[in-house]
Structure 1
């Protein structure tokens, strides 16, 4: 579990750590705005593209070997990114790095399902949630620290080099500690290549206009989104046909018949659409608007990371006792903390904004810790272990698409507001944060719907029980 969490931390850290290094990379490699966008978004694109196929492959062929292979490619791609001498070199390395991250991550959640009984999964999923929260929030801090210590020219390279020794150690220890498949698990299932292809093309067409929203002007790009949705519709039709013919589909559509899975996936989609955009726009506001250094911007985000880490550990321990109401409570805290951030920055818009937002962001971080890992635990609680990798990958793919959608929408509001209000960074940030809050509120509505449905089911069961008892006695 330690090896899996370290690998998960590295791959998710690389989503956010690059943000604070973009000015240094642009100066050193003379990257265009479009090139910078691909350094940042290309990683997310290929990450989301391979999640489900890799999860399905791990289910069918054994998670340890797939995990180690993905980690090896990720480590090599990190070294290549650190050695980059041109924009094209760095972009290709980031695309490969993202693809490898998409291979590694489904195996992590699949290993939790494989190694722990259902009643024991709260704590490891709590650690996984803490890993997700900390890696996302601490990325700007670690990146800023490396740039501060090593200088702008070498600091951004060590953002990638730092993965190399950790990756090598994780590969060796993963081989030693992660169990191989037992002989009875060696059945070779069909991998449904046609389904994998349709899903990959569909996800690519959906993600591409979202990650390129600011670079591709005009409405024509959204035709790709429409085409992607059409391809995904074809994928669903193919999966039903393939299953009827006795094959094992890439995604078992019956999973979405489980309320815990379908509503949990919906919560994850909308929460990640809001959650990850916080760091994107806050880093821009602090560095470009208030002229914070990379390190100071990272420190300003630290309260969220601390709150998330502490609460995620607690949430993992108590999730089985409180269930989905715990997730709803966390979402309410996130919304309240972000709303308080908007108010704080209205009254303190200047250079002290980082201090003014510290306490509200701590509250939002505590809420986030009660959302990510408990929601993942509850969403995967009824999933069979043999489908743990692909089910977790579908959940993560929704989160990646949600992230891309959130950054596209919140970023559009942020830059449009900045352009139309005389360059007021504070007003642009606060307006964009309202869109982020809206995503969190939608996730909260889904959580409350699950809570109400559970209460109705419990009430119906309680009504039936006396009749059953009376019938038994009679």
Structure 2
């Protein structure tokens, strides 16, 4: 349930490169016509192209949501009922996705966005088939398949944004990004609905059907997405050493290892508790690898995968707000569904119907934000998003288990959609304004990394809280106490994020006021002269 503006960063990076490649207006015009190849497509061809690229976000959300309401059904088939083990089905998928999004974008820059997009689709099809086949094996194999599934969207999502940026000029491009955002709630609803339907027959069909659909998209992408030979020719002129330098393999390896170990420690603690020494060892090692990553990015890397040196206080606010908001989203979605299924007695099909308003509000919000994002200052939109996150968390924490749907649940669902589809573009714009031009192209990958990694990590934190306060979860009252504890934790997170957004807004207003005063003084000085 994300929105479209992240791709604007690839656009900015791409457009900034053009003047250096051409010396006159006529050459520039000709090159633009060649680069923006999708502008010349007829309506049917353009629709197929947009749908194919948007399928990356659709399949991403489908893969996340098709397991949310069926966790207990899948776990029962393997004899697994512990909440900590069940949560790996969701958090493991998010862990891989969040860890490799940044690397997926860099691989697309170096080896071609279309090629990496297609590889990602193929990988997702294979691992989805593996998830279904795991019914004949064991729970660890199923969890491994879910973890590996996350690598598919990590390759397709950032490269989909780059493909739109390189194939469309500004006007058609904005509409493409709007539909990219709108595909997220459609994918989420498809996952919730068809996950529940296939589970009524036999749960492996949740993943086998996904594998068949993604395999079709794999073939379609080969023909529907145009080649971008300009980027390919640029890559051919590089030596192997130059390519390795640009990939920043040492930085990528240490960064990925740090993220995986840190997230693994928190999520595995739900299964084995913190009494196991290896959990502490993984946590300590994650900090050591993080230190190594920062050293490589600051001192050694010629083309850092994350230019730490340019990170400012503005970016710190962006990261804090984004992490708080999307961690809350993961907690809210996972534990509200657990309350409904395990305490309230709702069915997976009923929950899909309860969450169906996101289709309307998600699509409309994405399209509206796409229109106003250039007219309303991003800090205002960020504060609005954080307030929506806070209200959603508060409504769900206060919601009586057997309350009427049209009270707490309905309004919380609507407000949550506003939060998700407004926070991401605001974060991207703030990030774009805070870093130098040469780092614009990494914007979407960095923000998406924060988003999806925060979802997985938030579930790890919430699960630890749940296990500490539910007294074993032997009764429904104990389960509910643990679930509510996690929802109040999400309220605290969003309150913190709201305070950060408010501080940043005040800081931005002060900066604008100083700029206006300085501009007025300069005008007065010039008039006196």
- What TM-score, normalized by structure 2, do the two folds share? 0.78
Q: Distance in 2 between matches of 1:263 and 1:137?
A: 31
How far residue 376 of structure 1 moved from its aligned partner, in angstroms, is: 3.4
Q: Deviations over 1:254-293 (max 9, x none)?
A: 442383x443333221111101111110111111112222
Question: Which stretch shows the higher mean deviation, 387-396 or 322-331?
Answer: 387-396
Question: Which stretch shows the higher mean deviation, 83-92 or 274-283?
Answer: 83-92
3-state SS in 2 of match to 1:83: helix
Q: Deviations over 1:162-201 (max 9, x none)?
A: 3423442354235432442415643544222211211121
Q: Distance in 2 between matches of 1:406 and 1:38?
A: 12
Residue 137 of structure 2 corresponds to which residue in structure 1? 86
Residue 110 of structure 2 corresponds to which residue in structure 1? 60
1:48 equivalent in alignment to 2:98: yes
3-state SS in 2 of match to 1:18: coil
3-state SS in 2 of match to 1:357: helix
Question: Which stretch shows the higher mean deviation, 182-191 or 445-454?
Answer: 182-191
Q: Distance in 2 between matches of 1:38 and 1:395?
A: 23
Residue 210 of structure 1 corresponds to which residue in structure 2? 266
Residue 173 of structure 1 corresponds to which residue in structure 2? 221
Partner of residue 300 from structure 1, selected from 347, 354, 362: 354
How far residue 351 of structure 1 moved from its aligned partner, in angstroms, is: 6.9
1:144 equivalent in alignment to 2:202: no
3-state SS in 1 of match to 2:471: helix
Structure 1 45/135 Cα, relative in aligned 2: closer, same or farther at 3 Å? Answer: same
Partner of residue 95 from structure 1, selected from 141, 147, 152: 147
1:438 equivalent in alignment to 2:489: no
Q: Distance in 2 between matches of 1:444 and 1:122?
A: 29
1:337 equivalent in alignment to 2:387: no
Partner of residue 239 from structure 1, selected from 291, 297, 300: 297
Contact persistence 1:205–1:228 (CA under 8 A): yes
Residue 461 of structure 2 corresponds to which residue in structure 1? 409
Structure 1 114/254 Cα, relative in aligned 2: closer, same or farther at 3 Å? Answer: farther
Residue 422 of structure 2 corresponds to which residue in structure 1? 370
Contact persistence 1:78–1:93 (CA under 8 A): yes
Contact persistence 1:7–1:167 (CA under 8 A): no
Residue 397 of structure 1 corresponds to which residue in structure 2? 449
Partner of residue 334 from structure 2, selected from 268, 271, 280: 280
Residue 4 of structure 1 corresponds to which residue in structure 2? 53
Partner of residue 19 from structure 1, selected from 51, 54, 68: 68
Q: Distance in 1 between matches of 2:262 and 2:220?
A: 37
3-state SS in 1 of match to 2:269: coil
- What TM-score, normalized by structure 1, do the two folds share? 0.86
Q: Deviations over 1:42-94 (max 9, x none)?
A: 32232233222222222222211111111111112212222332125433332
Structure 1 326/46 Cα, relative in aligned 2: closer, same or farther at 3 Å? Answer: closer
Q: Deviations over 1:113-161 (max 9, x none)?
A: 545678987655544444445544663333123334xx2x2x4423442
Residue 209 of structure 2 corresponds to which residue in structure 1? 161
Structure 1 370/59 Cα, relative in aligned 2: closer, same or farther at 3 Å? Answer: same
3-state SS in 2 of match to 1:392: helix
Q: Distance in 2 between matches of 1:330 and 1:437?
A: 14
Contact persistence 1:209–1:222 (CA under 8 A): yes
Gaps of at least 5 residues in structure 2 are 1-49
How far residue 398 of structure 1 moved from its aligned partner, in angstroms, is: 2.0
Residue 451 of structure 1 corresponds to which residue in structure 2? 505
Gaps of at least 5 residues in structure 1 are none
Residue 105 of structure 1 corresponds to which residue in structure 2? 157
1:266 equivalent in alignment to 2:266: no
Q: Distance in 2 between matches of 1:413 and 1:133?
A: 29
Question: Which stretch shows the higher mean deviation, 31-40 or 137-146?
Answer: 31-40
